[in-house]
């Protein structure tokens, strides 16, 4: 199974507001940068979208290390919340509905096609690729704003 590294980040200008996401995929020394933006969204939606879009780039099942500064995204998998939510009809322990169910369902499906490990990184620090993803996301926001 091919081993891929995926760095992701999301950004939002206002929350909710115009949002962007960025991702960098790495395989055997090659890098692919992707990004996008939406007019009305939240930071958490953009964090999830970055991972989804990165995983969608893979053409076959891979072993993927996903690096994200989003505790929301990473902890859902590392702490098993996503599986409890799914089992409980996407309701949290307090019986309130889980937000962003549409994206969680897509991400769950994608993680079942690959062997995915989520790794939390400190945001806006000294991680070169996290900073690059942040720039891709914020540039996507700026680009969308300038086209509105």
Please give the structure tokens belonging to residue 72: 């929301």
Among this protein's residues, is 102 annotated catalytic?
Answer: no
Listed as ranges, residues in the chain with pLDDT below 70 are none
18 Cβ neighbours under 8 A, 6+ residues apart? 12, 37, 38, 39, 40, 41, 141, 144, 145, 148
Strand partners, 30: 27
pLDDT (tens digit per residue) in 32-47: 999 999 999 999 999 9
Predicted confidence at residue 14, as pLDDT, reads 87
**pLDDT tens digits, 2-22:** 999 999 999 998 889 999 999
> Considering 20, 47, 53, 114, which one is annotated as catalytic?
47
Cα–Cα distance for residue pair 103/68, rounded to 1 Å: 16
Question: Would residue 10 show up in a list of annotated catalytic residues for this protein?
Answer: yes
Catalytic residue (choose from 14, 39, 109, 124):
124
From 9, 22, 53, 114, active-site residue: 9
Helix (H/G/I), strand (E/B), else coil: 91 = strand
The pair phi, psi for residue 120, each rounded to 5°, is -85, 130
pTM given for the model: 0.96
According to DSSP, the β-strands at 2-13 and 115-120 are unpaired
Contact 98, 90 (CB under 8 A): yes
User: Among candidates 58, 57, 77, which has minimal Cα distance to 67?
Assistant: 77
């Amino acid at each position: 199974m091919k081993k891929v590294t995926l760095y992701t980040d999301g950004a939002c200008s206002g929350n909710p507001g115009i949002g962007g996401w960025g991702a960098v995929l790495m395989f055997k020394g090659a890098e692919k940068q992707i990004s996008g933006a939406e007019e009305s969204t939240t930071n958490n939606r953009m964090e999830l979208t970055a991972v989804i879009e990165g995983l969608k780039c893979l053409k076959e099942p891979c072993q993927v290390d996903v690096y994200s500064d989003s505790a929301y995204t990473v902890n859902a998998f590392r702490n098993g919340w996503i599986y409890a939510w799914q089992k409980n009809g996407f309701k949290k322990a307090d019986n309130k509905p889980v937000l962003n169910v549409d994206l969680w369902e897509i991400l769950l499906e994608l993680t079942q096609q690959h062997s995915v490990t989520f790794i939390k990184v400190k945001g806006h620090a000294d991680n070169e690729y996290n900073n690059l993803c942040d720039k891709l996301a914020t540039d996507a926001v700026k680009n969308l704003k300038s086209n509105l």
